Amino acid sequence: MQTSGIDVSKYQGKIDWAAVKASGKTAFAIIRAGYGRAIKQIDPFFADNYKGCKAVGMPVGAYWYSYATDTESARNEAKTCLEAIKDKQFEYPVWFDQEYEPRIKALTDQQRTDIVKAFCETLEAAGYYTGLYCSRDWLTNYLLPGQLKAYDVWVAAYGTDPGKVPLPYGMWQYSSKGRVPGISGNVDLDIAYKDYPAIIKGAHLNGF
């Protein structure tokens, strides 16, 4: 199966979710919950985007952008993420977003991999379906993929083909220049290859 979706954050501004839904172009949305370790770093549009998706029946997931440079800070970020998403229900995973922050790039592959595991383990222990969002390059050259087989991967690789990805992936972000009614400007486009709502609801995770 393949399901088309989008991912959004404060950078998309105010979104008309009724128009997004009515367009028929997207069947789910992954919304940024926040970043870092402080609860004040919740995405300012997170609550509105969550409410908007729920109001129109748009299945939703979330992601947390990381600045963690060790396992302790990764667990602290996970706890802040859990605080941000409590009392909400997500039909799609809650993703850990690790990218090219200079202090993270300065770490070893093992340290970066341990950070991913620390965050994901914390979310799993709290009853959430989680996984890793990163680029194909990051997964290939900055992590140890063999140690991350337990987690879903949402891989970013722009173009018509994701190319060679070192782990199976449940979602693919294939463009950052999508256009969808209800959203001004560009938006990231994604494809999901799993029936996440059925998996997550069936396992009673993510608030279900």
Domain ranges of the chain: 3-202
Predicted TM-score (pTM) of the model is 0.97
Predicted confidence at residue 75, as pLDDT, reads 98
Kindly report, residue by residue over 149-180, the tens digit of the pLDDT: 999 999 999 999 999 999 999 999 999 999 99
With a pLDDT cut of 70, the percent of the chain lying above it is 100
Residue partners of 63: CB distance under 8 A and separation at least 6 = 7, 30, 31, 32, 33, 94, 95, 96, 97, 133
Predicted confidence at residue 96, as pLDDT, reads 98
Predicted confidence at residue 142, as pLDDT, reads 98
Domain 3-202 has CATH 3.20.20.80: yes
Q: Which two tokens stand for residue 159?
A: 């173009």
* Angle subtended at Cα 170 by Cα 165 and Cα 175, rounded to the nearest 5 degrees: 70
Predicted confidence at residue 138, as pLDDT, reads 98
SS3 152: strand
What is the mean pLDDT of the segment spanning 42-56? 98
Mean pLDDT of the chain: 98
Residue 104's pLDDT band, with cuts at 50, 70 and 90, is very high
With a pLDDT cut of 90, the percent of the chain lying above it is 100
